[in-house]
């Protein structure tokens, strides 16, 4: 089963995918398919991307299992899901990779954003990383994912609607105003270098959540010049390394890139940024989302 079903209360599509239940969960990584020599990946690679073995979205999706109706429409789960292997080294972490390697990773993300966004019917390219068992990661080899959605995910819809309203009301960019606000306050700033700012938002939903934002107003990775992408790579290395040093253990997080949709629209009021969600609140304690 793989299909999209409309959520009439939230007014968004929900992915229903039974194949995700078949994902492997390796308690001991003695058979890692992402390591060279496994037969699954090339024996010699730096960064490697391939279609997810258990995709919730597919370029050639099956017909839905249920017909759908006026209240709850159903449509095929069209799109694409990719895995990006950051390195052939099984135990290396993102901040341990050389800066030039992370810069090539950022360039890879930019390339896939353009290429997947050019696919007919792809409205949003979502680049993300889930790290650590605490957030449900089943494979420990350093990797991230890219989903090419046939719609704009709900959280992005809400953020973009807020940014559009702010521009209409003030004539300014909401994210630019947020960066200026935090630089003026200063108490939550974590990093400020080469045109990239990192801070804990005053409305943080997690104890160590941060936003990573280019100071220059731009909508996507493709709007960055090579120097800006290098600066972004350095900032990502810095914050992920800071996370790992916080409690002296590998720090779980969810890294999400929020950039322009690829649905053919124009979004001059939108501002590219990365959000890190961090459930670890103490060395031996996690924050769990509860009812409200």
Catalytic residues, which ones? 143
Rg (C-alpha) for the chain, rounded Å, is: 19
- Measured CA to CA, the distance from residue 238 to residue 243 in angstroms comes to 9
CA dihedral sign of residues 202, 271, 134, 36: negative
């Amino acid at each position: 089963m793989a299909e999209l079903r409309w959520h009439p209360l939230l007014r968004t599509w929900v992915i229903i995918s039974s194949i995700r239940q078949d994902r492997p969960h390796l308690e001991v990584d003695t058979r890692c398919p992402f390591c060279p020599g496994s037969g699954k990946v090339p024996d010699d690679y730096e960064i490697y991307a391939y279609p997810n073995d258990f995709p919730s979205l597919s370029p050639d999706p099956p017909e839905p299992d249920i017909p759908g109706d006026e209240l709850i429409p159903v449509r095929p789960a069209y799109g694409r899901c990719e895995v990006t292997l950051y390195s052939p080294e099984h135990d290396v972490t993102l901040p341990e990779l050389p800066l030039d390697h992370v810069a090539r990773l950022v360039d890879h993300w930019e390339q896939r954003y353009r290429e997947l966004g050019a696919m007919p019917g792809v409205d949003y390219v979502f680049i993300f990383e889930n790290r650590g068992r605490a957030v449900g990661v089943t494979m420990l080899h350093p990797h991230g994912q890219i989903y090419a959605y046939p719609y704009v995910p709900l959280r992005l819809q809400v953020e973009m609607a807020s940014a559009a309203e702010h521009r209409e009301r003030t004539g300014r960019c909401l994210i630019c105003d947020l960066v200026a606000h935090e630089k003026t306050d200063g108490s939550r700033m974590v990093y400020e270098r080469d045109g990239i700012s990192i801070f804990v938002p005053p409305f943080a939903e997690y104890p160590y959540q941060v936003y990573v934002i280019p100071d220059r107003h731009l909508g996507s990775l493709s709007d960055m010049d090579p120097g800006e992408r290098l600066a972004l790579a350095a900032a990502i290395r810095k914050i992920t390394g800071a996370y790992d040093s916080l409690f002296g253990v590998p720090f779980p997080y969810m890294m999400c890139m929020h950039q322009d949709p690829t649905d053919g629209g124009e979004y001059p009021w939108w501002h590219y940024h990365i959000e890190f969600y961090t459930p670890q609140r103490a060395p031996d304690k996690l924050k769990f989302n509860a009812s409200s």
